[in-house]
A and B are shown apart, each in its own frame.
Chain A
Amino acid sequence: GESVGLHLPTLSVQEGDNSIINCAYSNSASDYFIWYKQESGKGPQFIIDIRSNMDKRQGQRVTVLLNKTVKHLSLQIAATQPGDSAVYFCAENNGKLTFGTGTRLTIIP
């Protein structure tokens, strides 16, 4: 089975609210994770990454949290905007990228 999975296939969030997308992984040796955003008709676009020597990393409006104890990571998007509508993937990179199934984020106006 897949080593990287997502808890929910869809997520609807009110515009302006914060979004949280979760991801679980199974390989405790995994040490590098990347979040991607994929809009319709486009390839995955890098959002933010985190290595296992960190618990948290922040970017512009995005934060990734890594909990190695329970093998879980999350992507938080602050003040969600219509342009955030997309499918979000977490991926682990152990020499090659392994993607999960993805969560479709829908913004409610």
Chain B
Amino acid sequence: EAGVAQSPRYKIIEKRQSVAFWCNPISGHATLYWYQQILGQGPKLLIQFQNNGVVDDSQLPKDRFSAERLKGVDSTLKIQPAKLEDSAVYLCASSPYQDRSGYTFGSGTRLTVV
């Protein structure tokens, strides 16, 4: 089966600019996650969707980050305005279950804010 697709692979922007990342999960996977991975650290959950509804966004900096999953398939994560500390890899993962197994990660988008 096809994996989790993410685009772009790389993005360089200046601080205070806006940026958007796109994720296409594995077909049929109801649960979708966005993670932020800062260099040298493990991934940190930003937001979890079940179909097109938000299950957990407690760690999403809502003053600048937003995410949506229209029609319960593709998802977009946006940052506006970006800060230097947002430089990281943004990983999307999907799972066929809501519980705790079956995560498949995409290759991520590497964001550099200068």
* C-alpha spacing A100/B43, complex, angstroms: 8
The 8 Å CB contact of A95, one of B42, B93, B100, is: B100
The 8 Å CB contact of A41, one of B33, B40, B48, B107, is: B107
Contact, CB under 8 Å: B45 / A101:
no
Contact, CB under 8 Å: A97 / B103:
yes
CB distance from B65 to the nearest CB of A (A): 17
- CB-based A-B contact count at 8 angstroms: 46
- The count of chain B contact residues (Cβ–Cβ below 8 Å) is 20
Q: Is B106 an interface residue (CB 8 A)?
A: yes
Closest residue to A9 on the B side, CB-wise? B40
CB distance from B33 to the nearest CB of A (A): 8
Contact, CB under 8 Å: A101 / B43:
no
Contact, CB under 8 Å: B42 / A32:
no
Q: Is B105 an interface residue (CB 8 A)?
A: yes
What 5 additional pairs, Cβ within 8 angstroms, besides A42-B108, A45-B105, A95-B100? A32-B100, A43-B93, A43-B107, A96-B56, A102-B41
What residues make up the interface of B, taking CB atoms closer than 8 Å to A? 4, 33, 40-45, 48, 56, 91, 93, 100-101, 103-108
Q: Which 10 A-B pairs have the closest CB atoms?
A: A99-B42, A43-B105, A93-B100, A44-B105, A99-B43, A43-B91, A89-B42, A42-B107, A43-B107, A96-B45
